[in-house]
Chains A and B, each alone.
Chain A
Amino acid sequence: MSTTRDHERGPYAREQDLYPAERDIYPSDYESDVYPDSGVYPDDAIERWGSEGEPAADHQPRRPWSKVVDEWMEGRFKFGGAGVKRKTAALIVLGAWGFLPLFFMLPSLFTFNTNTIGGSVDDTLGTGAMVNLFMCLLITPAVTLTGQRWFVPLRRWYGIMFACCGIGDALGAAFFDDFAGNPFAKLVEHTFTLIGFLMVLLAIPLFITSNNWAQRKLGRYWKRLQRLTYVIWALLFFHLATLEGFGFQRGSNGSGFAGDGDAIFHQRLYQYCACSLFLLTFRLPPVKRWIVARQQEGRNRLVFMAVMPIFALFLFGFIFIVNELIFKGTHSFVENPSSE
């Protein structure tokens, strides 16, 4: 039975109740005004004003595509004699990639190959942390644009993987890097390592509280705490800027000395900016309101046209980050760390 309050909370209020654990994992930007309950589906409204006059008594309003997908994902399929939820299978397939950076480092961890750990942990786990952070931050814009919610649990998973990669990167840098000094000194003696260390320090409470128990205990403060993710996101800019000469190539400093002739594409700061533009734009409340308004008007093509170039830029940056991860990661996996 629908209450007034439910009505105010919007059409996703019921679905949010289905995902109490995942709803607020990592900063959530879902405001009730993003998906206001108009009561009439846009396409349906158009049909009512058609030449056919009043709709038939058995007329069913057309359900939005996002809802259809969410419901389809709740269905099951047979796998090995057992029924498996489509959503579970999809989440496992999509979430497995988050574990990839740690997987790449496993052989050197099992054999305690300090040469590989010291030589490539920063590249493999550092880049992996960046990939996971962006994937975590991608969930909210994806919900805004698609209206689907079945993939929301991935936000928690990518967040946890980000924290694991970041902490692993810091430990590797502290104990196996060839900087001078004790482990703590290694983490704070350069500006970029200091910023990276701060990011890891901020990631630790997020990691610890990324469970339902902590969510219940912290109540409304939990969400505020999880907003530290945005601080980490901002610090990542300064980490990469100081790591790679503020985007300007100086000698062999930075990834821009790549011999493949695509130096600019290998600059991590540029990759960060290309990806962040998309992630930031679709978090701005006016932009979200504009998208929802156009979607309600049924002008999805306009939304698509506006989103495509920004998403293309995101992909442009993200592909090169993933390329870096796979290249450095495979070298780490065979315990022959890349000297690039």
Chain B
Amino acid sequence: MNESYAERGYAERGYAERGYATGGQKRTRAEKSTRAGGAILAAVALLSTFLVLWGLYYATGTGERHKVALAAAGCEPNLLSVNVGCTTVWMLERQWTQLTTSDLQQLNADVADYTVNARRNLVKAESALTAEVTTAKAFDTSLAQFPFPPAVAPASNNLIQAIQARIKLTSEQARSSSLTQLRSFNARVNASGAAIQADLSLVHKALFTRPAVDQEP
């Protein structure tokens, strides 16, 4: 029995000792962990300081890299956007294609519709002309809003004027009272169409010609 008590006492004492040791180890671990936290924080703070300073240094070379990027990406330097500071030729091409594709297809469809009806159905021919005027007006508005760079501005103004002339002419044509009168406009309308085609080609050419780096404002 005594032995048993002694054993138990020893065991309890041992348990208590172990318990005390565990508490101490926990405290030591916590202190070590706190020190480790300081070390981690110091390391991360140093790394961050280096990166921030490097970032500021990198930012000082922005101007030079901007010029190189303009040349490399085929930027149109006269168009400044908020984010990248330039509009690339690729961007202009995409916007221009989006703008012209649907409107020109619709205009061609209206002209084809008019051609079919010009000799046999006055009402349908006039309806086609009215539709053409509506589409041409929408196209004209879109062109007026397109961010043409200054270098392209003269050609784009000519194009807009040519389209407005065509709209005026087509509107008059749509008010004709007979098929003969309607067809009498054809020569002038075709001439205005040729002028629009020429101006469109000029705008297209001017738009997609890559400017030199020194053209940057």
Contact = CB atoms under 8 A, between A and B. Distances in A.
Interface of A: 33, 252, 257-266, 274, 277-278, 281, 284-291, 293, 305-310, 312-313, 316, 323-324, 327, 330, 338-340
A339 B95 CA distance: 8
Contact of B55 (A265, A281, A338): A265
B1 interface: no
A265 B54 CA distance: 12
Nearest to B55: A316
A340 B51 CA distance: 27
Contacts of A281: 40-41, 44
A310 B48 contact: yes
A258 B83 contact: yes
Interface in B30-75: 30, 33-38, 40-42, 44-49, 51-52, 55, 58-59, 61-70, 73, 75
A290 to B, nearest CB: 3
Given A316-B52, A339-B95, A340-B91, A259 B41 contact: no
B75 A284 contact: no
A266 B52 CA distance: 15
A310 B69 contact: no
Q: Which 8 residue pairs of A and B lie closest in terms of their CB atoms, listed nearest first?
A: A286-B37, A290-B37, A261-B65, A261-B66, A260-B85, A259-B86, A309-B48, A261-B62
Max chain B Cβ within 10 angstroms of own Cβ: one of A263, A286, A289, A307: A286
A84 B68 CA distance: 55
Contacts of A262: 58-59, 62, 65
Contacts of A257: 69, 73
A324 B91 CA distance: 17
B6 interface: no
Nearest to A303: B41
Contacts of A290: 34-35, 37-38, 41
Contact of A285 (B33, B47, B67): B33
A277 B48 contact: yes
**Chain B at the A interface: SS class:** helix
A286 B65 contact: no
Given A308-B45, A339-B95, 4 more contacts: A259-B73, A263-B65, A309-B46, A340-B84
Contacts, number: 116
B86 A313 contact: no
A286 B36 contact: yes
Contacts of B46: 309
B33 A259 contact: no
A277 B44 contact: yes
Contact of A260 (B42, B83, B90): B83
28 contacts: A257-B73, A259-B66, A259-B70, A259-B73, A259-B84, A260-B69, A260-B85, A261-B67, A262-B58, A265-B55, A265-B59, A266-B84, A274-B51, A277-B48, A284-B40, A285-B33, A287-B40, A287-B41, A289-B34, A290-B35, A290-B38, A306-B45, A312-B48, A313-B55, A316-B55, A327-B83, A339-B94, A339-B95
A313 B54 CA distance: 11
Contact of B84 (A258, A284, A330): A258
Contacts of A293: 34
A285 B37 CA distance: 8
B82 interface: yes
B184 to A, nearest CB: 41
B197 to A, nearest CB: 26
A260 B84 contact: yes
Contacts of A313: 48, 51-52, 55
Contacts of B37: 284-291
B69 A263 contact: yes
B85 A286 contact: no
A306 B42 CA distance: 7
Nearest to A282: B41
B156 interface: no
Contact of B34 (A259, A286, A310): A286
B137 to A, nearest CB: 20
B100 to A, nearest CB: 15
B192 interface: no
